[in-house]
Structure 1
Amino acid sequence: MGFFTDAYDLFCISTVTRLLGRIYYYDPATGKPGSLPPNVSSAVNGVALCGTLVGQVLFGWLGDKLGRKKVVAWSSGIGGDYPLSATIMSEYANKKTRGAFINCCCALLGE
């Protein structure tokens, strides 16, 4: 489930930037919703991706030091859950079906 929600967060950021533009950049002259300026849109997308990268590195390191289950239960960050969920899932999966199970989950997420 963590895999799905993290991937969903990353895939929906472009929709969120459009909605932010419609809400906060209203053009009163035309009476139509506006759009985010390109630099603001790039900043929002960049912060989401950079936050994911930092979270993956930090929480991956913490997972190795403190234990994966403890860190996943403690973290609520997008980057923290992403690398640790796959590792925990593969560690506790049946040896016969482990590869197929991980492959199916990654295929569903488009990775």
Structure 2
Amino acid sequence: LVQKVFQLISILPEQEVPEVIAEKPLYEMPEDADLFKITRGDDGSYHVTGRRIERAAAMTYWDYEEAVMRFQNLLEALGVSDSLEKAGVKVGDTVFIGEFELEWSE
């Protein structure tokens, strides 16, 4: 079957593929998209704000372990984890990312 399909394809006339040139990129990531800010609440909690990280938190399905792991990977990739640790976060501390309350863990 595969050989027959290959034979049929090989006898088809070649078609010219039109070149698509966009005048400007379809989407450009804003320079400040990865920026975030960490503040401390009066109760000792940590608050992380930033466009990309808050959006990722809002789009995460917290009931699925794979989604939570992906979010943790994003925290590391954006440098949020390192910054929180430098700010003094410890296991068990409360961290708010946008509207989402998380308990910090390893």
Given the two structures, how large is their TM-score scaled by the length of structure 1?
0.24
User: Greater CA radius of gyration, 1 or 2?
Assistant: 2
Higher helix share: 1
